[in-house]
Amino acid sequence: MPLGCLDTETEQLAFMHDNASWECLRLRNKAKGNLRLPCCGSKVILKTLKLGTRFFAHKHRGVC
Ligand SMILES: [Zn+2]
């Protein structure tokens, strides 16, 4: 459950976001696909658990 990922030039941390900025990040990533996971460079999807925990996930299941 990665809590951080790479934006074009910055690092995004899931726990630094609130609902509004998380949703904004999700829409931007959906439009541009600009987020990458640091482990393998995979594209990212933003997930929110029922309890409100925010985290990043691999868009496609890969080697890790
Ligand atoms: Zn990975």
Distance 36 CA to ligand 1 centre (A): 9
Sign, Cα dihedral of 48, 11, 2, 51:
negative
Provide the residues around ligand 1 (an ion) whose CB is within 5 A: 37, 39-40, 42, 64
Distance 20 CA to ligand 1 centre (A): 26
For residue 11, report the phi and psi dihedrals to the nearest 5 degrees.
Answer: -100, 135
Distance 42 CA to ligand 1 centre (A): 6
Kindly give the confidence (pLDDT) of every residue in the chain, 64 residues in length, as a single tens digit, with 9 standing for 90 and above.
889 999 988 999 999 999 999 999 999 999 999 999 999 999 999 999 999 999 999 998 877 8
Q: What is the pTM of this model?
A: 0.87
